[in-house]
Amino acid sequence: MSAADTGLPKFAILQLSGCAGCEVSLLNASEWVEKFRLVYMPLVISTHHVPHEVEMLLVSGGVRNNEDVYNLKQAVKHVKKVIAVGTCAISGGVTNLGDRDEVREVFLSQSGRLHLPQMLSKTHPVDSFVDVDLYLPGCPPTPELFMAALQPDQGFKASGIVCGECGRRKLTDMRPKHLTGFQSGKAQPDICLINQGYLCVGTSTRGGCRAICTRAGHPCVGCRGPSNSFIEKESSVWLENIQRVFERMTDIPAGEVNEALRSPQLSMFLFQFSDYAGGTHHPRSKDKVL
C-alpha cells in the first residue's frame, strides 16, 4: 500500500445501530479524501479494529445491543476526540419511538437467541457509555457539516436557527386557523411555511443545514436539535417556545399544535438533547454542539 503512512491526520468511523445515512452523507463530501486518512470504517474499509493514534472517532447510530456497547468501548480506547454524529448517536433516534412497554417486550423476547447480539431494552445514546467531545446533530448532518466537524479551525459559519438560512418571508397578514398536514396542500414559494399553516420548527432549530428541507417546501422537523438558547434546557422549554411562535404568527388552537409536536415524525427529533443526557449527567454543553 503506497499510502500506508502519509502523515495525514487519521480519522475513523464507528457505525452502531443506525441506517448508514450519516456515512452516506460523509461519502457525499470528497474534499476530505486528500486531507485526511480514513483508517477505520467497515462500510468502506476491510479493517476490523480501530487502530491506535486516531485523531477523531466519529460514532454514528445508537447503542441497541451488547455488541454495540463492546464495539463502542473498544473503539474509544486510543482516540483523541470522540464525535457523536447524527440523531441516533445523540439520542437513540427514530428507534426511541419504540421506547414503550409493548415494544420493549418484543426486543427482550429476542434475547434467548443463540449466537446473536443481545438486545437492550431500548436504544441508548453514545454518551451513556463513553465521553463525547463534540455532538454533530442532523438526520443526517450535511456533507458541509461533516467537513466543519473534521476541520474545526476552518471557520465554519452558520445561522443560529434554520430560519436564518431559509430565505422565506414571514408575513403578518397571513394567519392560518388550522395546521396544514405535512402531506396536504401545496407550499407556495418564498412565503414562510408557518404562514401557510405548516408545523415548521425552523424558528428554534439550530442552523447549519442551510435549510434544505424548508427550501424544498417541506417544514423543518427539527433534526438538528434546538438552537443554543434551548439546548441546555429540557425539551419542554423548546416546545413552549415553538408554541409561542405559533400563537404569535397564527390563529391555530394551541392544543392542535401541542398534539402535533408530540406526534412521531417530530417527537423523534424534538427530544434529542437534554432529555437523553441521562439521569446523572448534566445537560450537554452548547459549547460541545456543532
Partner 1 sequence: MTRLTFPLSRIEGHARVVIEVDAGNVLASQFQAVELRGFRHFVQGTPAEQMPVIVPRICGVCSTAHHVASVKALEHLYGVTPPRLACDIREVLLLGQLIQNQATSLFIFTMPDRANVESVFHMDESEASKKQQLSIAQRALKVRKTGTDLISLAGGQFIHPVKAHIGGVSGGITREAADPMIMELEAMLPVACQLFDDYWAMSMAMVERIGSWGDDEPTYYLASTQANKPRFNSRELRVMGPDGEERASFAPSEFDTYLEFHETEYSYAGSTTYQGQIMRANSLARINLTENLGTPRADKYLKRFTSSFGKPAHPIMLFDLCRGIELVYAMERCMEMLSEDLNYMDPKVGYIPRDGIGYGLVEAPRGPLIHRYVVENGLIADAQFIIPTVHNMRAIERALNVAGKRYISPTAINTELENAVGRVVRAFDPCIACATQ
Binding site for partner 1 (CB under 8 A): 1-4, 15, 17-25, 27-30, 33-34, 37-38, 42-48, 64-65, 67, 93-95, 97-98, 102-103, 106-107, 110, 113-117, 119, 123, 139-140, 142, 181-184, 186-187, 212-213, 216-218, 221, 263-265, 268
Smaller CB separation from partner 1, 142 or 159:
142
Q: Least distance in Å: CB of 143 to partner 1?
A: 8
| C-alpha pair distances (Å), 240 with each of 172, 258, 263, 269, 270 | 21, 9, 15, 15, 12
Smaller CB separation from partner 1, 78 or 210:
210
Smaller CB separation from partner 1, 120 or 158:
120
Smaller CB separation from partner 1, 40 or 232:
40
CB-based contact 89:16 (threshold 8 Å): yes
Q: Least distance in Å: CB of 154 to partner 1?
A: 19
Q: Least distance in Å: CB of 275 to partner 1?
A: 17
In the chain, the amino acid numbered 13 is I
Instruction: Please provide the DSSP assignment of 87-147 as one string.
Output: HHHHH-GGGGGG-SHHHHHHHHHTTT-TTSPPEEEEEE-GGGTS--SEEE-SSSPPHHHHH
Q: How many other CB atoms are found less than 10 A from the CB of residue 207?
A: 19
CA distance 288 to 273: 12
Q: Is 11 helix (H, G, I), strand (E, B) or coil?
A: strand
Residue 140: is the preceding peptide bond cis (ω within 30°)?
Answer: yes
| C-alpha pair distances (Å), 9 with each of 26, 35, 144, 191 | 17, 8, 19, 44
- Hey, what's the cell of 104? 420493549
Q: Least distance in Å: CB of 230 to partner 1?
A: 22
Smaller CB separation from partner 1, 202 or 232:
202
Q: Least distance in Å: CB of 97 to partner 1?
A: 4
Smaller CB separation from partner 1, 44 or 254:
44
User: Partners of 12 in the beta sheet?
Assistant: 40, 57
Q: Least distance in Å: CB of 202 to partner 1?
A: 13
CA distance 248 to 263: 22
Smaller CB separation from partner 1, 112 or 155:
112
- Hey, what's the cell of 223? 433534526
